[in-house]
Structure 1
């Protein structure tokens, strides 16, 4: 089943990954804009329920294999940068995926930020060397910042090892219910496909990296087939944001390939190209193959969906922005979907609200280096409030806010309610966390609508 109106909860990696696991918009946490850096403070409160912790309670084996990017806080054993076995440089992290319901974890904290090493169950691996020269880190084959580099770490091998580790873990747990979360490093920058994929797309390095992504997903599907688990295993493939701006879009578009399709914008933008993403579901025992679905859904919806599948209600302070799409998988309408409001969020922390055919945007997208080369200026552009009719103007070409003041007012009030009530689903009011840095100025324009 292909969902054609599926959206990430944010337009960049860290916050979207937070939302996938918690069923909660990331801007409710202390991170009001941007992403975490390498070895950052943990973003998810260990007391918060996640998809993994929920499923673990239902008897599932759980694993996170891939790129975490939610803050691991690997504890340094020395105040000064040290070299040597990783276990002597870093202690075991208390905030690895294992702290959030995963029985097993392996992967990278980020893909281009130090420490450049694999981490298994919270322990960094390999022999580490601290490199403070950009030229030297580049000479070692790393596209990223300076810092610790493990002797067994090669960026071109990360995707292959992620697929292999995932397939191996599935084989080990084939006789029990399992949840495998495989957050990929690709096609995030730097574009580092293996040699056998370089040039294969005929488009660009980004196209080549995407072909390796396709291979990696195919390896998992093949493993399920080999184990005769395909029929009753629910597989979901999606992304954490739209295509990045610095991966050769102009080059690909000149060849007739548009990664965002008709949509405006790209990664980081509040426009559709930043958050409308592929969302594919395979579950042969339930989902009819080759069908499309145009229900409006969000990547925060996974938690409510698995809870619905397990027939276990979520607690009032869990999955505050998560709505089950299980009925859609059964070919039935999602209750209340026509009136549901989904919040979009940019890399700069600005907001948009989608409800039905209307999209309210509190941002004009600029100034930003994240630009899609094909985009044309918006007619009647406004830096504060814009409104688009997504039925007749999916490309967000014309702002009609001036013609629909009542719609703008109603959606501003709805957005303010969603933001300040701490949830977008029915239930008691919850608290948003204070900004970890500075003030949360992006919500100032909404405060008057709470009165």
Structure 2
């Protein structure tokens, strides 16, 4: 493959740009709620992830790789659009009946790659809404992934714990019997349908909070559903099912450049490992599904090898947000944790403004093209749009996405200078080694998930190089840095954080 060096648009860094017709395939492997400390390459010792570790050992392991948000829908929105999720007031955790969050006119990562000759596909979790708000699940479901740039899509609409519990292939429910139509409601149950709250005797998994509506496969869900029996998924087979679809996509499109967004559902709740993985981690279902996901990744990589295209495939591996243990079900995630720490050295977790909410495993791998190593460059999933555009010779930076191709390919040490991070519509600013968390009302900790959210009535300022665990708030003793960070925050957000008068 012919590669030419080219100056990065704004930083003067060298980056590799495709200059001939043999474009590299691009695969984004995206996990759900996988923490910074859940991977062996990031310090996990109690949990074995050999295939994730192999990607890290053969590629670039980023120590400062970020999702844009501490929750799923906003991060996925930013990944595909290159836009900060806080710019869209609807970019929050969506119910299964939400309309499509991404405007069909919006420029997206798959649209950009289609323009450069790629076939585009998504397999796995979507959670970005479907239709216009009044979906008839028994007819064509539009708009959806296919209307925002994907040539092929095989998805679950929202999350494994939300209805509808069916797969959608392109714009139709897979396996639907037209004589058994699907009905979905997030406010009111359908007459005569059992629920987790009222029918505990029917459950194979006990709910802890929030997950006590319709029962499917013995598991209580969020939301109410009736019908669609032949189309309902088997939870324990979901990982295998998505793997097979991802492998099928690769085999079908191996003779043309392709982009595959392979969005695994693990380790989001409900954690339902296949029986062959039950007990594999010693940590209960959460650990078991991480082991299962690792195996799926290994099998997927093996498929790329068998089809002779691994050397021509750029792989980006990451997670949509940080970890959570008890997220709605009793599944021994807390009780069997042992010495494992999903956060690694970081503070917080899913839903949190602290680092463990958004700093996640982030690996780039391209066999024979990327020299293995570790990078401290600050990179964000949102930057894939502009960076992969640059890989194809397009120097334009789209939206909030930055061209970090040099850093992603291991040719440059420098990443982002600044990055606004989001958690439940609250934002924090990272700039250099510093992070600013403005004052926010609300609880400091979500007791039901045992995670520090980080809301405090005063400014928080941390030096992440010296204090990655964010234990020492330097706001009072470093007023100059605080004022500088507030000014930068105000410039990016277009508004001053609350209580700014206290430090003027």
In the alignment, the residues of structure 2 paired with residue 359 and residue 371 of structure 1 have an alpha-carbon distance, to the nearest angstrom, of 27
Q: Which residue of 1 aligns with 2:32?
A: none
Within the alignment, does 1:206 sit opposite 2:265 as a pair?
no
TM-score of the superposed pair, with normalisation by structure 1: 0.83
SS in 2 for 1:302: helix
SS in 2 for 1:251: coil
Within the alignment, does 1:322 sit opposite 2:401 as a pair?
yes
Picking from 392, 412, 419, the partner of 1:342 is 419
Q: Which residue of 2 aligns with 1:281?
A: 364
Q: Which residue of 1 aligns with 2:326?
A: 246
In the alignment, the residues of structure 1 paired with residue 244 and residue 500 of structure 2 have an alpha-carbon distance, to the nearest angstrom, of 49
Within the alignment, does 1:9 sit opposite 2:57 as a pair?
no
Picking from 296, 299, 302, the partner of 2:381 is 299
In the alignment, the residues of structure 2 paired with residue 138 and residue 351 of structure 1 have an alpha-carbon distance, to the nearest angstrom, of 36
CA deviation digits over 1:84-119, x for unaligned, max 9?
A: xxxxx5321222100111000011012221211111
CA deviation digits over 1:27-76, x for unaligned, max 9?
A: 111326x3111120111111111110000011100001111000012776
Contact preservation (8 Å) 1:193, 1:205: yes
SS in 1 for 2:140: coil
Greater CA drift, 242-251 or 298-307? 242-251
In the alignment, the residues of structure 1 paired with residue 270 and residue 122 of structure 2 have an alpha-carbon distance, to the nearest angstrom, of 22
Within the alignment, does 1:445 sit opposite 2:502 as a pair?
no
Q: Which has the higher strand share?
A: 2
CA deviation digits over 1:349-374, x for unaligned, max 9?
A: 21111111111012578344268869
Change (3 A) 1:157 1:62: same
In the alignment, the residues of structure 2 paired with residue 181 and residue 65 of structure 1 have an alpha-carbon distance, to the nearest angstrom, of 6
Q: Which residue of 2 aligns with 1:429?
A: none
In the alignment, the residues of structure 1 paired with residue 447 and residue 77 of structure 2 have an alpha-carbon distance, to the nearest angstrom, of 22
Q: Which residue of 2 aligns with 1:147?
A: 225
In the alignment, the residues of structure 1 paired with residue 499 and residue 443 of structure 2 have an alpha-carbon distance, to the nearest angstrom, of 20
Within the alignment, does 1:267 sit opposite 2:350 as a pair?
yes
| Superposed CA RMSD | 2.7
In the alignment, the residues of structure 2 paired with residue 77 and residue 406 of structure 1 have an alpha-carbon distance, to the nearest angstrom, of 53
Aligned residue runs from structure 1 range 51-130, under 5 A: 51-73=109-131, 89-110=137-158, 111-125=160-174, 126-127=176-177, 128=181, 130=183
SS in 2 for 1:263: coil
SS in 2 for 1:409: helix
Greater CA drift, 142-151 or 396-405? 142-151
Q: Size of the alignment, in residue pairs? A: 407
Structure 1: tracts of 5 or more residues without a match:
79-88, 422-442
Q: Which residue of 1 aligns with 2:4?
A: none
Change (3 A) 1:284 1:114: same
In the alignment, the residues of structure 2 paired with residue 401 and residue 228 of structure 1 have an alpha-carbon distance, to the nearest angstrom, of 54
Contact preservation (8 Å) 2:135, 2:141: no
Contact preservation (8 Å) 2:97, 2:134: no
In the alignment, the residues of structure 2 paired with residue 101 and residue 129 of structure 1 have an alpha-carbon distance, to the nearest angstrom, of 27
CA positional deviation for 1:389? 1.0
CA deviation digits over 1:228-257, x for unaligned, max 9?
A: 11112001110000111416554354x210
Q: Which residue of 2 aligns with 1:331?
A: 410
TM-score of the superposed pair, with normalisation by structure 2: 0.75
In the alignment, the residues of structure 2 paired with residue 263 and residue 309 of structure 1 have an alpha-carbon distance, to the nearest angstrom, of 32
In the alignment, the residues of structure 1 paired with residue 349 and residue 379 of structure 2 have an alpha-carbon distance, to the nearest angstrom, of 19
Q: Which residue of 2 aligns with 1:387?
A: 461
Q: Which has the higher helix share?
A: 1
Aligned residue runs from structure 1 range 107-256, under 5 A: 107-110=155-158, 111-125=160-174, 126-127=176-177, 128=181, 130=183, 132-134=193-195, 135=199, 137-138=214-215, 140-145=217-222, 146-148=224-226, 149-152=228-231, 153-246=233-326, 248=332, 250-253=334-337, 255-256=338-339
Greater CA drift, 291-300 or 128-137? 128-137
Structure 2: tracts of 5 or more residues without a match:
1-59, 184-189, 203-213
Contact preservation (8 Å) 2:364, 2:409: no
Q: Which residue of 2 aligns with 1:426?
A: none
CA positional deviation for 1:277? 0.4
